[in-house]
Copies of this chain bind each other. A is one copy, B any other.
Amino acid sequence: MFPPNSVGLVKTEYFTFAHDEPFRLESGATLRPVTIAYETYGRLNADRSNAVLICHALSGGAHAAGYHRPEDPQPGWWDDCIGPGKAFDTNRFFVICSNVLGSCYGSSGPTSVDPATGKPYGLRFPVVTIGDMVNAQERLIDHLGIERLLCVAGGSMGGMQVLEWAAHHPQRVRAAIPIATTARHSPMLIAFSEVGRQAIYADPAWNNGDYYDNGRRPDAGLAVARMVGHITYLSEQSMHEKFGRRLRERERYGYEFQTEFEVESYLKYNGLKFTRRFDANSYLYITKAMDYFDLTQPHGSLAAAFANSAHVKFLVISFTSDWLYPSYHSKQLVSALTAVGADVTYLDIQSTWGHDAFLLEVDTMTKLLSSFMDQIAREAQVTPPD
């Protein structure tokens, strides 16, 4: 029914905490209760030393591997790397992926019901940070009875969470794999985030975030935001390879304002598709969390942020054609980690796929991740699950 190296049928689970004592956010605001949606693949071993936490990017969710229904056409978002015999080998490791705070895929966010009003929070949901997302993940890890994660891994915003774990919860992490990411969101990243947000604000249906009961959603604005995002995930070269200047279903220019180039069609299709699966307010909250991410603060240096992380083993990965999270960000990170004495393996992978490479360069990634996971499992003397 499923490919032999698939984790097969999986189910999203929900952990709710802060029923009584509210969960305190970095802003000082509080949230009560908090729900975290998550999935797990593989089994925890006897001494609970084989847990791997996978962190997702902006538009992802807890469903990282396997299928929700037998007829699902698509598996989870990182199925290429998670499963029996894959890089995150579920025969050996207990793999966890949880949906971030602020998202719309089951964890508490602007679409959740505010117990104070009985209606969706909308913009009454407090602004959250990458730090808050990770603090909530920590509560889930506590709940699962895991003292120390063998590894935390993720790309893009997932990589920010990885760095947040390594910097601010170093005792709970043996190894960290930040991929195509940065320790400090750049002004260009903020600029692209803000344009996406402005596109949403500009949609009258957004209605200041209060649209859940209106029968109209800010789909037009959200679609534009997503189109901007899609451009930034590709490289100039991959666009040439993927689309060139080819026209769609026509031989010559139409001299009218229709979708005619293939690249236009791609953007429009993906913009529209995104509105069917994502929430505009969640887009605002999550991009804001990314914009706030800056591990150089409050100490003024990246090395200071990792002062207590010398024992963590790092595998840092960037991609040569990723202009959104350029390699030099990863190189600065590597310098800081090396300065504190951490054991760092760094790879700047030659790829034409731009930022998307972290999901597309499957063969290279599989080799790299597998050998790194092998090594840390051996060093930590991780026993197989029963």
A202 CB contact (under 8 Å) in B27, B199, B257, B264: B199
With A224-B224, A257-B123, A271-B198 in contact, is A240–B323 under 8 Å at CB? no
- Which residues of chain B come closer than 8 Å to A201, judged between CB atoms? 257
Residues of A within 8 A of B (CB): 27-29, 123, 126-127, 184-188, 190-192, 194-195, 197-199, 201-204, 220-221, 223-224, 227-228, 230-231, 234, 236, 239-240, 242-245, 253, 255-257, 259, 261-264, 267-268, 271, 284, 288, 291-292, 294, 323, 326
Contact A29 B255 (CB under 8 A): yes
Whether the pair A190, B223 counts as a contact (CB closer than 8 A) is no
Contact A188 B223 (CB under 8 A): no
Q: Across the interface, do B199 and A253 meet the contact criterion of CB distance under 8 Å?
A: no
| Beta-carbon nearest neighbor of A25 in chain B | B255
Interface of A is mostly: helix
Copy number in the complex reads: 2
Could you tell me the distance in whole angstroms from the C-beta of A24 to the nearest C-beta in chain B?
13
A-B contact sample (10 more), CB < 8 A, given A190-B245, A228-B228: A187-B245, A188-B239, A190-B261, A190-B263, A191-B227, A191-B230, A194-B261, A198-B227, A201-B257, A253-B292
Contact with A231, one of B191, B220, B284, B326 (Cβ below 8 angstroms):
B191
A-B interface, 4 closest residue pairs, ranked by CB to CB distance from nearest: A202-B220, A27-B255, A187-B239, A127-B255
Q: What residues of B have a CB within 8 angstroms of the CB of A27 in the complex?
A: 253, 255
CA distance A199 to B231 in the complex (A): 14
- Which of B204, B268, B326 contacts A236 (CB under 8 A)? B326
Contact A186 B264 (CB under 8 A): no
CB distance from A56 to the nearest CB of B (A): 23
Q: Are B263 and A191 in contact (CB under 8 A)?
A: yes
| Chain B residue with the shortest CB-CB distance to A260 | B291
A186 touches B127 (CB 8 A): no
B residues near A271, Cβ cutoff 8 Å:
198
Closest B residue to A239 using CB positions: B187
Shortest beta-carbon distance from A93 to chain B in Å: 36
Q: State whether B240 touches A187 (Cβ < 8 A).
A: yes
Q: Could you jot down 9 A-B contacts, CB within 8 Å?
A: A185-B245, A186-B236, A186-B239, A190-B245, A190-B264, A191-B227, A191-B267, A194-B267, A204-B204
Contact of A187 among B190, B191, B263 (CB under 8 A): B263
Q: How far is it, in angstroms, between the C-alpha of A242 and the C-alpha of B27 when the chains are bound?
A: 27
Q: Once the chains are docked, how many angstroms separate the CA of A227 from the CA of B190? A: 12
